Structure 1
Amino acid sequence: MGTTDVKLEEGKALLREAFACRINNLQKSIALAEQVVKLGEQADSSELCALAKNQLALYHMILGEHQKSLSNAEEALTFFDSHHDLKGIGDAKYAIAGVHYKTDNFHLGLIFLLDCLFLYRKISDHYNEARVLKSLGTIYEYLDDQENAIDSYLSSVAASKLAGDPTLESNAYNPLSGIYLKRGLHDLALATIEKSISLKEQTNDVRGLAFALYGRGKVFIKLKRFDEALQDLNHCLKIQLEVGDKLGIAMAYNKLGVLMHELRQFEEARKLLLLAQQVADQYNIRVIRYKSVYNLHHVAKSEGKLDEALHFLEQYIHIKEAIIATDTHKTVKSYEAISKVKVLELEAEIQRSKTEIIEKKNAELDSFFYRVSHDLKGPISSLLGLNNLMKYEVKDEKLQKYIDMYQSQILRIDNIVLDLINLTRMNHAEVNKTKIDFETLLHDCINTYQFLDNFKRISFKIEIEPNLEFYSEWAIVNTILQNLIENAIKYSMPDKEPIVHISIARDEQSLIIIVTDNGIGIDPLLQTKVFNMFFRANDRVEGTGLGLYILKRAVERLHGDVSFKSEVFQGTSFTVKLPFFGRQSIL
């Protein structure tokens, strides 16, 4: 394993640790992610830097450090966009969405979240799908759309269970309890938030526990269980101050102010609500800004300070009018975006159904090929045996000529059957990755074709990058090399010294196999068809027409790419690129 691979492995391990400890030690998460950025810079690994910056974007977003969050997320997004990494794109957009919807632009937040949802569903990432659905539920609540909010939260719970993550599941229960509370379903609200707290304690999610305690505190206030509410909200505030979650701090101050108002401790209520307003103003947390002002209006009114009450009420109306004026258009646009995503999801569902039908039909076709091919192997072997007997028994030269023609056609059928068996076997073989010894593999592949007429004339030139470590499915890589080498041998020119050059090396992301010959080449008019099943570009050379079709299927199985350049009477060069993972695991 090269130095870069080692650094990549080390960095990804640190990022896993950082993500795991975010629930109870956010500062450590940030320190570890920053360490990985430096590690990526030292190893000249843009991928590692981007992965680390995606995590930093999330952590800074939680802390209310919005500019830092956006800067990191946008840098990561640039990298993942250029590499078409859907998960990386989704993670970056999730952090950007969080900054927008937690401040004063839930419309933009919604757009980014819908992008995330589409991406995560495309790659069947239930964990991140659950996170996005929970955030979408919050935005629906901002839009005062409780029905869709409940649906999003319940969908988040379902996705969390598919991901097997109780922390995510409990995250959705917190706001769900709040909606039940607004609807007067007090027992259901309490049961839901108690379930969340239980899960938070089981998973040691300290930061998440703070929000769950906040949720239970709200229920206790409504039930007039003020002592229990005060205990939960103070515990919540203590945790939020320790972890530095600005939204959580503002929420706790605001709800403690509401509680103090209920207890008729007006001075303490005012003090707490002003603190909530201060945090909301500093970090642009719109929802707490207008809630705290509205609650200050109630406190002043209860104290009989009517001028102050009127002042706060006017301030509240001013904020709400500004929100309504800017958000009416955004709300319409938001629902347009939601509608578009639902259409896309419906189209994706239709496409999935079509794909399932096609895959089922392909599996049936493969099964048919495999069964028929095996059934044919017996009779073909018998025919070849009978043919050999006739060769020994028949002495007539004219009959011998016909017997040889007969044998040639049987062998052609046998080759077709063998190719079909290999094709179906390749489609259904289990994934079994091992280190590929290219020197040995190439030697064996080349020697396989010693029986071909022009084999002894060919000069093989082999270049394998030193210390090359590549882990893949040996049988599939063997199939790729065999088909490339067989083609180069078969289509050599009879009137010049045939040369086959084989190069195996790597670039930053791929293993690159190049097989070049100076043979007869491929007619430009036929080049678009060479990978078609049973297509043969040259009838003068015997073959089944399945070789290059099998080659392409083999490359696709390894998520690679195959291309070629060819010129008639000058030769052909095939290039195969396979993803280069070494032994690394994907973060």
Structure 2
Amino acid sequence: MKLLVTHKILFIIFVFIGLSHAQNSKLDALYIKEKDSIGKLARSYYYLDFDKAIALHHENAKLMKKHHDTLALIRLDNELLWLFTARMGNLDSTSVYIMKMENHLPKIKDSVVLGSAYTRIGFGYQIKGYYRTAMENYLSSVDVKEQLPEHASLGFSYNLVGKIYELQNQYENSIKFHRKAAKIRSKVEDKNHLAHSYTNMGIVYRKANQLDSALYYIQRAIEIRKENLSTITRKRQFATTLKCRGYVFIALKRYHEAISDFEEAISIVNESDGKYVTIESYTGLLASYIELDSDAKAYEALLASKKILKEYPIKDLQVINYDLESQYYYKTGNYKKAYRVNQKRDSLNQEIRNENILKNTEELQAL
């Protein structure tokens, strides 16, 4: 009799455990469905309303915390870091999410997530101007990704290492890493990332004054990118490459071809809200029209670039714009204005130098 009672009790316990597991599985499935749905909705707002996208991501973070989903939270913080850095240029939020991701690093067991985290932390530091720290993180991402079989984003990390070398005027090393990226990306069916590597190589060759090589690689990038303009991102990337070719044409003194590229780039990004490309394109137009002595056209380009720079005060571009503005006023005989603009340029240059000294000091102190 006691044995029968024991069996009944065990049966009830097993049934209860089974029902509990089933209930938990059902709750987990509902959570995953809700989490994925909110994430998808947030990403749909990336080109429409960033504030709405961020609000939805924060709502999702609360849901993830409620379900103790640590890996999902890490992935979301990683995505938010990229969003604030690469898409919004919000340096304050970038700093916050760099700190969050650095705190997450010891907890990340997934190598793919770890490689991505190092990449995005590095990009955050690059945007903030801390190139030494950016390079350290990029090289860490390379170390992780090189251990993974056929990791497509390894090419992205190589490109970023190449970019840091470019910013440090180490053009030979920069080209070396862009070539490594291109080798990986040439094996992928979607050639858009290969076009990105070719564009980067063109930029570096232009800075190194190897203009034939610069034009060759940018032309290859344009040929790839013009085949697929199906999304806003693809259109912006195509406009970026056109703008880069425009600057090669300026270096080659082919100003009319440069103007054509800049005007086409502006017409494309006006539809896709690419402010950085727009500023650089108007600056390129200004430089071209100054060389062609087209004063009225140069003045139009000057006003357009100043208007955007007032809204988006990117210091490096402001310095270039001040330099061209000074040239314009000097050529048109307005020497007093040229002098005042030169003073603004010199003051901003000094401000940038002071910031760079501070950043370099902070990085050295951290070693």
TM-score by length of 2: 0.73
Q: Residues 86 and 219 (structure 1 numbering): CA distance in 2 closer, same or farther, change over 3 Å?
A: same
1:38 matched to 2:38? The reply is no
Q: 1:266 and 1:233 mapped to 2: Cα distance?
A: 13
Q: Residues 74 and 179 (structure 1 numbering): CA distance in 2 closer, same or farther, change over 3 Å?
A: same
Alpha-carbon offset, residue 327 of structure 1: 4.0
Greater per-residue helix proportion? 2
Q: Residues 79 and 141 (structure 1 numbering): CA distance in 2 closer, same or farther, change over 3 Å?
A: closer
Aligned partner of residue 210 in structure 1, secondary structure: helix
1:198 matched to 2:217? The reply is no
What is the 5 A alignment of 1:309-458?
A: 309-324=338-353, 327=356
Q: Residues 331 and 66 (structure 1 numbering): CA distance in 2 closer, same or farther, change over 3 Å?
A: closer
Alpha-carbon offset, residue 151 of structure 1: 1.6
Q: 2:28 and 2:50 mapped to 1: Cα distance?
A: 23
| Number of residue pairs aligned between Structure 1 and Structure 2 | 332
Equivalent residue for 1:295? 324
Larger Rg belongs to: 1
1:119 matched to 2:148? The reply is no
Equivalent residue for 2:168? 143
Does the 8 Å CA contact 2:91/2:128 hold for their aligned counterparts?
no
Correspondent of 1:8 among 11, 17, 32: 32
Q: Residues 257 and 10 (structure 1 numbering): CA distance in 2 closer, same or farther, change over 3 Å?
A: farther
Name the amino acid aligned to 1:275.
K
Greater per-residue strand proportion? 1
What is the 5 A alignment of 1:9-24?
A: 11=35
Q: 1:29 and 1:157 mapped to 2: Cα distance?
A: 32
Alpha-carbon offset, residue 268 of structure 1: 1.8
Q: 2:30 and 2:183 mapped to 1: Cα distance?
A: 37
Correspondent of 2:76 among 33, 39, 52: 52
Q: 1:244 and 1:144 mapped to 2: Cα distance?
A: 30
Q: Residues 80 and 297 (structure 1 numbering): CA distance in 2 closer, same or farther, change over 3 Å?
A: same
Structure 1 spans left out of the alignment, 5+ residues: 341-587
1:179 matched to 2:208? The reply is no
Aligned partner of residue 71 in structure 1, secondary structure: helix
Q: 2:255 and 2:352 mapped to 1: Cα distance?
A: 33
Alpha-carbon offset, residue 29 of structure 1: 9.0
Range 50-59 or range 324-333, more displaced: 324-333
Q: 2:209 and 2:178 mapped to 1: Cα distance?
A: 18
Q: 1:196 and 1:317 mapped to 2: Cα distance?
A: 36
Equivalent residue for 1:488? none
Which whole-Å deviations, capped at 9, do the CAs of 1:161-216 have from their partners, x for residues lacking one? Answer: 35555222211211321233344544432231122122223344222112111112
Does the 8 Å CA contact 2:285/2:298 hold for their aligned counterparts?
no
Equivalent residue for 2:194? 169
Q: 1:333 and 1:123 mapped to 2: Cα distance?
A: 33
Alpha-carbon offset, residue 244 of structure 1: 3.8
Equivalent residue for 1:584? none
Q: 1:333 and 1:103 mapped to 2: Cα distance?
A: 13
Q: 1:202 and 1:119 mapped to 2: Cα distance?
A: 33
Does the 8 Å CA contact 1:260/1:266 hold for their aligned counterparts?
yes
Alpha-carbon offset, residue 277 of structure 1: 4.0
Name the amino acid aligned to 2:214.
A
Percent identity, please. Answer: 17
Equivalent residue for 2:240? 211
Q: Residues 95 and 183 (structure 1 numbering): CA distance in 2 closer, same or farther, change over 3 Å?
A: closer
Alpha-carbon offset, residue 131 of structure 1: 1.8
1:189 matched to 2:214? The reply is yes
Range 30-39 or range 173-182, more displaced: 30-39
Does the 8 Å CA contact 1:256/1:269 hold for their aligned counterparts?
yes
Alpha-carbon offset, residue 102 of structure 1: 3.0
Alpha-carbon offset, residue 331 of structure 1: 6.7
Correspondent of 2:310 among 252, 256, 278: 278
Equivalent residue for 2:135? 110
Alpha-carbon offset, residue 295 of structure 1: 2.0
Q: 1:103 and 1:330 mapped to 2: Cα distance?
A: 9
